[in-house]
Structure 1
Amino acid sequence: MKTKPDPNSLLGHLIELRNRLLRCVAAVLLVFVAIAYFARDIYALLAEPLLAVLPEGTSMIATDVAAPFFAPFKLTFIVAICLAIPYILWQVWQFIAPALYSREKRLMAPLVFSSTLLFYAGIAFAYFIVFPLIFAFFTSVAPEGVTIATDISSYLDFVLKLFFAFGLSFEIPIAILLLVWSGSISREALAEKRPYIIVGAFILGMLLTPPDVLSQTLLAIPMWLLFEAGLWLSRFYQPSTDDQTQEQEP
């Protein structure tokens, strides 16, 4: 007769990890199936910032035969992952929570929630603020005689890269809070490194965005401001010094 693995053993942890990963995959697929019918509408919404500034008589094009079909569904799958992020993070939280001390649990729960909101805020900032500015700039500097006709697959890759860059950069306050709270670095030391961090923000902006000064600056400045916000918030979090003596909760 088969015996149930001990949940506290390595095999038990691996089985639980597998089950939670399967739940995450199932959640993404369910969301994808629910919104797949609206794939074309979702792509049209994504293309709106570019279409709004294209010269009259121009439009987006598809250079690949299958692109009109695959590009909207690729975007829809990415949207499904983004919509399922709260559930995915909840599964991650449920998996690691038993190993955390009570003080860590009190800290991590709001951080998981706020990191999700910040990621969405980064995507919204890119869509509503950055895209109209950079697309208007790109279309205005096109040489005379050049017809602007952006490929839908290239456009999708471009905006997804920017979404990821801005979503990730908006997590800076969370990273600073964790570093200060864990005692890895003090907020005073971070404040002293401000000039280097500002330079680093512009370097990251150069690496994470397309090779144009405008999008690099539009990413670097928010990163700097988010660093300042995280530095200010870190004063309310004291380094964890006594967790090693606490008992783990069941």
Structure 2
Amino acid sequence: MKSQELRFVTHLGELRKRLIITLVAFIIFLCGSFLYVPRIYEWLIRDFERDLVVLGPSEILWVYFSISGVIAIALTIPIAAYQTWIFVKPALTDKERKTTLVYIPGLFTMFITGLSFGYFIVYPMVLNFLLALSKGQFEAMFTAEKYFKFMMNLTLPFGFLFEIPLVVMFLTSIGVINPTLLSKARKMSYFLLTLVAIFITPPDIMSDILVILPLFVLYECSVLLSKFVYRKNQKKQSATIIPMKKAA
């Protein structure tokens, strides 16, 4: 019992260490990116023809922390993934260790891809659609907080949702899930993705559709990638079994 308690305390200490390293990295990136917020701010509003207003000093600080926070999250993802890998490494086989390590750079890449998709495709379409509704009827004024909150609601979730194909490939490669399971869970997955889309978009049907459809495509891509990885694993297993039979 004492041995189990000691092992548990050791694991907690190791987990605490990994969390601290990740948190310190996030704070460093947050402070570093804070210095570049003015340049990033100018780039983000370069095509926006209206002036943004602020209702108080705290709103300025909110904008600064929001922009630098997104940058810090993106830069911290590889470090968080690597720290997680170190923590679980003792419980993994050699094959699982190599497989997991390969996917770490992809997490950052897919997160940036998701942000880019949300910012360059989804966000302009939804914004232009809503502005078209108000044209000739309302005088639209935007506060900096509302504007960037709207932008982040339509871009940041895609950064995390675009990780789905990579996570599916990894779980398939280590045998946790398979294409058959994903196909059976399609209806439930579509329902959950629809709820996510409704939650992150403004309350209008057009915005919901513009987000739901890419999420469904993303899920189907995950199923196809899972099939590819699953078949590849099956071929490797077959290639390993045949020589063993010949040797016997």
TM-score range, shorter chain: 0.7 to 0.9
Of structures 1 and 2, the one scoring higher in RCO (CA 8 A, sep 6+) is 1
* 2: CA distance, partners of 1:204 / 1:228: 17
Distance 1:148 1:131 in 2: 17
Give the conservation status (yes or no) of the 8 Å contact 2:126–2:207.
yes
Alpha-carbon deviation of 1:75?
Answer: 1.9
Shift in alpha-carbon separation, 1:169–1:81, aligned structure 2, 3 A: closer
Match of 2:161 in 1: 169
8 Å CA contact 1:42–1:76 kept in 2: the answer is no
Conserved in 2, the CA contact under 8 Å of 1:61 and 1:150?
yes
The Cα shift of 1:122 comes to 0.6
User: More deviation in 183-192 or 75-84?
Assistant: 183-192
Which stretch shows the higher mean deviation, 191-200 or 38-47? 191-200
Select the structure that is richer in helix.
2
Residue identity opposite 2:25 in structure 1: A
| In 1, Cα distance between equivalents of 2:66 and 2:184 | 44
How far apart are 1:114 and its partner, in Å? 2.0
Report the TM-score, using the length of structure 1 for normalisation: 0.78
Between the aligned partners of 2:32 and 2:178, the Cα distance in structure 1 is 46
1:40 matched residue in structure 2: 38
What SS class does the counterpart of residue 36 from structure 2 fall into? helix
Task: Pick closer, same or farther for the CA change 1:190–1:81 going to 2, 3 Å.
Answer: closer
- Pair 1:112 & 2:104 matched: yes
AA in 1 matched with 2:141? A
Contact 2:74 2:108 in 1 (8 A): no
Residues 73 and 11 of structure 1, relative CA distance in 2, 3 Å threshold? same
User: Which string of whole-angstrom CA distances, capped at 9 and with x for unpartnered residues, describes residues 45-84 of structure 1?
Assistant: 33345x1xx4xxx411112342123322332133222222
Structure 1 gap ranges (5+): 1-7, 243-250
**Deviation of 1:20 (Å):** 2.0
TM superposition score normalised by structure 2: 0.78
Match of 1:27 in 2: 25
- RMSD between superposed Cα atoms in Å: 3.1
Counterpart among 190, 200, 221 of residue 182 in structure 2: 190
1:217 aligns with 2:215: no
Map 1:199-210 onto structure 2 (within 5 A): 200-210=192-202
Q: 2:10 aligns with which of 9, 12, 19?
A: 12
**TM-fit CA distance, 1:167:** 1.6
Residue 160 (structure 1) aligned to one of 152, 156, 167: 152
1:124 offset after TM fit, Å?
Answer: 0.8
Matched, 1:64 2:62: no
Q: Which amino acid aligns with 1:9?
A: R
**Amino acid paired to 1:115:** L
Q: Which runs of 5+ in 2 are unaligned?
A: 1-5, 238-248
Q: Tell me, what secondary structure is at the counterpart of 1:237?
A: helix
Q: Deviation of residue 162 (structure 1)? A: 2.1
Q: Which residue number corresponds to residue 4 of structure 1?
A: none
- Name the structure 1 match of 2:240: none
Measure the CA separation in 2 of the matches of 1:69 and 1:165: 22
Query: Can you list the C-alpha shifts for 1:180-207, whole angstroms capped at 9, x where unaligned?
Result: 4565554235335546644554343223
> How far, CA to CA, are the matches of 1:108 and 1:148 in structure 2?
49
